[in-house]
């Protein structure tokens, strides 16, 4: 009897000692984004009703719990429904569009939005195979940031070159914009013909000077 009691006691001690709750240091992706959601965005121009409906249908079939859509030109700077879709996303969620040109008018706008989403740990996916996410790899995330900075570099370099050109033209006394200035001799000819009663069109036919320049010369002459 004592022997059996001893065996049961040992079993209980072993069971209590060996029983523990397993806990991963890192969550599996399926657990990490268990509560994540997919939101879709669809866009078409004002006469593409069927195209917009097709996008919405496809996005819902893809698993989007909510689809924001709008009839708006791609060139519009602000797309209200796209902004609402992005504002509804949180960490771990994903924005799904059928293809990039549904949401972005150019490379710069696309890269700017991708970097914004990556910083919030939000995925961007298209049904044509494009994928951007912070979790994909640090290298991919860095590539998007580099491309965005390079695009900014091109814009800043172009602005600086324009400023340098304007400065050089200003220092050299050249006209800073519009049509080149006409010579003082032609200006005096325009004013003389106008004082003699010739119309603007008659002065243009005699001198070959554009009407806008003739008006400017005469107006400047009246102000002085």
Cα distances from 186 to residues 111, 206, 211, in angstroms, run: 52, 11, 13
What pLDDT does residue 81 have?
95
Assess if residue 74 is contained within a domain: yes
pLDDT tens readout for residues 54-81: 999 999 999 999 999 999 988 888 899 9
pTM here is 0.52
pLDDT attached to residue 12:
53
Task: Render the burial of 206-215: b for 16+ CB within 10 Å, e for the rest.
Answer: ebebeeebbe
Residue 21 lies in a domain: no
Structure tokens at 110: 């696309």
What is the number of other CB atoms lying within 10 angstroms of the CB of residue 32?
13
Q: Quick check: is 158 in a domain?
A: no
Least confident residue range of 31-45, 57-71, 87-101: 31-45
Whether residue 135 sits in one domain with residue 37: yes
Q: What is the rounded distance in angstroms from the CA atom of residue 67 to the CA atom of residue 82?
A: 10
Domain finish residue from 149, 170, 200: 149
Both 56 and 120 in one domain: the answer is: yes
Neighbours of 141 (CB within 10 A): 18
Q: Tell whether 19 is covered by a domain.
A: no
- How far is the C-alpha of 166 from the C-alpha of 173, rounded, in Å? 10
What is the C-alpha to C-alpha distance for residues 205 and 189, in angstroms, rounded to an integer? 13
Q: How many domains does the chain have?
A: 2
Least confident of 12-16, 42-46, 84-88, 130-134: 12-16
Confidence tier at 108 by pLDDT (50, 70, 90): confident
Asked if pLDDT for residue 201 goes beyond 50, the answer is: yes
pLDDT of residue 32: 46
Do residues 128 and 73 share a domain? yes
Residues 39 and 145 in one domain: yes
CA distance 76 to 113: 15
Of 123, 149, 175, the residue that ends a domain is 149
- The domain of 203 spans 184-223
Do 116 and 215 lie in one domain? The reply is no
Check pLDDT > 70 for residue 134.
Answer: no
Both 189 and 137 in one domain: the answer is no
Give residue-wise pLDDT tens across range 141-198.
Answer: 556 655 655 555 566 666 667 767 777 777 766 555 555 567 888 888 988 898 888 8
| pLDDT for the residue numbered 57 | 95
Residue from 105, 124, 125, 107 nearest 116 by CA: 124
In a domain, 5, yes or no: no
pLDDT at residue number 25: 47
Ramachandran category for residue 181: left, alpha or beta (phi over 0 → left; psi -120 to 50 → alpha): beta
Query: What pLDDT is attached to residue 145?
Result: 59
- Average confidence score pLDDT of the chain: 76
pLDDT (tens digit, 9 = 90+) per residue, 4-17? Answer: 444 455 445 444 43
Same domain, 126 and 189: no
Reduce the secondary structure of the chain to three states and give it as a string: CHHHHHHHHHHHHHHHHHCCCCCCCCCCHHHHCCCCCEEEEEEECCCCHHHHHHHHHHHHHCCCCEEEEEECCCCCCCCHHHHHHHHCCCCCCEEEECCHHHCCCCHHHHHHHHHHHHHCCCEEEECCCCEECCCCCHHHHHHHHHHHHHHHHHHHHHHHHHHHHHHHHHHHCCCCCCCCCCCHHHHHHHHHHHHCCCCHHHHHHHHCCCHHHHHHHHHHHHHC
Kindly state whether residues 143 and 37 are assigned to the same domain.
Answer: yes
166 in a domain, yes or no?
A: no
> Are 66 and 140 in the same domain?
yes
24 in a structural domain: no
Q: What is the pLDDT of residue 79?
A: 92
One domain for residues 141 and 50: yes
- Are 133 and 196 contained in the same domain? no
Residues 17-28 have pLDDT tens digits of: 333 333 344 444
Do 38 and 143 belong together in one domain? yes
The residue with greater pLDDT, 206 or 39, is 39
Would residue 133 count as lying in a domain?
yes
């Amino acid at each position: 009897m004592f022997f059996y009691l001893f065996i049961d006691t040992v079993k209980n001690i072993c069971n209590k000692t060996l029983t523990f709750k397993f806990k991963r240091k890192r969550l599996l992706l399926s657990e990490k984004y268990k509560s994540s959601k997919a939101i879709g965005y669809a866009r078409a121009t004002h006469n593409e009703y069927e195209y917009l409906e097709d996008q919405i249908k496809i996005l819902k079939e893809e698993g989007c719990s909510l689809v924001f859509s709008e009839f708006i030109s791609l060139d519009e700077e602000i797309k209200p429904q796209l902004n609402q879709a992005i504002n509804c996303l949180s960490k771990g969620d994903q924005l799904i569009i059928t293809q990039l040109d549904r949401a972005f008018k150019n490379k710069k706008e696309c890269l700017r939005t991708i970097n914004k989403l990556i910083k919030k740990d939000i995925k961007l996916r298209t049904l044509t195979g494009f994928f951007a996410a912070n979790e994909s790899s640090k290298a991919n995330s860095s590539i998007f940031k580099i491309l965005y900075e390079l695009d900014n570099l091109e814009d800043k370099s172009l602005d600086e070159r324009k400023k340098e050109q304007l400065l050089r033209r200003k220092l050299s006394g050249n006209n800073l914009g519009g049509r080149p200035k006409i010579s003082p001799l032609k200006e005096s000819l325009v004013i003389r013909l106008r004082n003699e009663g010739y119309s603007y069109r008659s002065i243009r036919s005699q001198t070959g000077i554009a009407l806008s320049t003739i008006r400017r010369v005469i107006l400047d002459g009246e102000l002085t």
